[in-house]
Amino acid sequence: MSISRRKDGRICVKYKTPDGVWKQRTFARGKEDEAQKFDAECAYDETDNARMTLVEAVLVYLKNVQHCRETTMTYRYVITYLARHLQSRFVDTLTRRDLESVRDNARESGCKPSTINHYVGKLKAALNWCAEQDLIPENPWAQYRALPAKTVHRTGEYADFLRVYAELPEWMRWACRTAMALCLRPGVSELFRLQWSAFDWDVGCVRVRMPKVDDVKTVYAPAAYLTEARQRFEADGKDATQYVCRSRTGRLVQKKTYQKAWYRACSKVNVKMPPYAMRHIAASEMLAGGADLAAVAAQLGHRSIQTTASVYTHAVAGAQQRAALVLPLVQR
């Protein structure tokens, strides 16, 4: 609550209703006692005032944790459409039924179980962060499991990739070589936001920020790629703020721009493959070539090698067979 006096002498009292809505009431000049009394009657528990609504939790999370533009837009969609009816609800009042209502809204929008899990996961991530920061007592949805959904990895064959690569424009080919060499997520937030300042030419590594997981990975690039990259860096006048991969006109690449170039090339060679397949192909080729599982996980930026092993089971099996061949045998 707050009490203020207007220029005409009237007294304005700002107060909060039990529903959490701020309002104000005006008293005539000379009615200070009534204003003070009303202000005291409207006093609310400071503990209740500290309660956080769902929309407040999401906003404070986005404000304090850096995300790429696509992730921010996802949160906007979830809050504006899927959880619109829960925006003003206090987090500590959310129930299992409220969670199901968000899922129902997603189903009505035609979302598959995997997509629904993705949207709900965003809300859980925001609530988990708020709970860790002691902004809310706990995440009320933490105990509920995700919907059963089959994970479809966006992968492809290296031979098909080469066919698509041959039809791409030169600026996109360089972007593909960068994505493969550095095991990047081929999107606006990671690949096309990469700057020359991330390159350590003396060590031969690149430090890449991964907005998807809010982390930084160190990648050791192939020598041939580093040689070409150094030449391009010097051609840019050693400007460390320049983007490594740019459009045909030298500008920042947008999502529609690279997707149009990629899928046009796919159409020419009759191949169905998303750009993200490049990351999976790079990992599979490294494992198939005998690379250590932990090293590949580090190149990808996986926090756990279990993630790498579960996704690339087919390649890990081949690596195990090669490991068995070099195992020394004890003579009988």
Q: Taking each helix axis as running N to C, give the angle between helix 277-288 and helix 293-300, from 0 to 180 degrees, rounded to the nearest 10.
A: 160
User: So what's the pLDDT on residue 70?
Assistant: 83
Q: Which residue has the tokens 């932990």?
A: 294
User: Partners of 4 in the beta sheet?
Assistant: 12
Q: Are 218 and 182 in contact (CB under 8 A)?
A: no
pLDDT at 46: 43
Mean pLDDT by 10 residues, the chain (332 residues): 75 74 81 80 55 93 87 92 93 94 93 91 94 92 86 75 95 96 92 95 93 87 94 94 93 93 95 91 84 88 80 58 62 68
Please tell me the predicted confidence (pLDDT) of residue 318.
55
* Homologous superfamily in CATH for domain 158-325: Intergrase catalytic core (1.10.443.10)
pLDDT for position 43: 62
Every domain of the chain and the residues it spans? 2-49, 54-132, 158-325
pTM for this entry: 0.60
pLDDT of residue 48: 47
In sequence order, which residues have a C-beta less than 8 Å from that of residue 8 and are 6 or more positions away? Answer: 29
Name 253's bridge partners.
none
Nearest partner of 7 among 25, 34, 29, judged by Cα:
29
How far is 309 from 313, CA to CA, in rounded Å? 6
- Give me the pLDDT at residue 237, please: 92
The residues, ordered by sequence, that sit 6+ positions from 11 with a Cβ below 8 Å of its Cβ are: 3, 4, 5, 26, 27, 28, 29, 31, 32, 35
d(CA 157, CA 309) in angstroms, rounded, equals 18
The pLDDT of residue 51 is 85
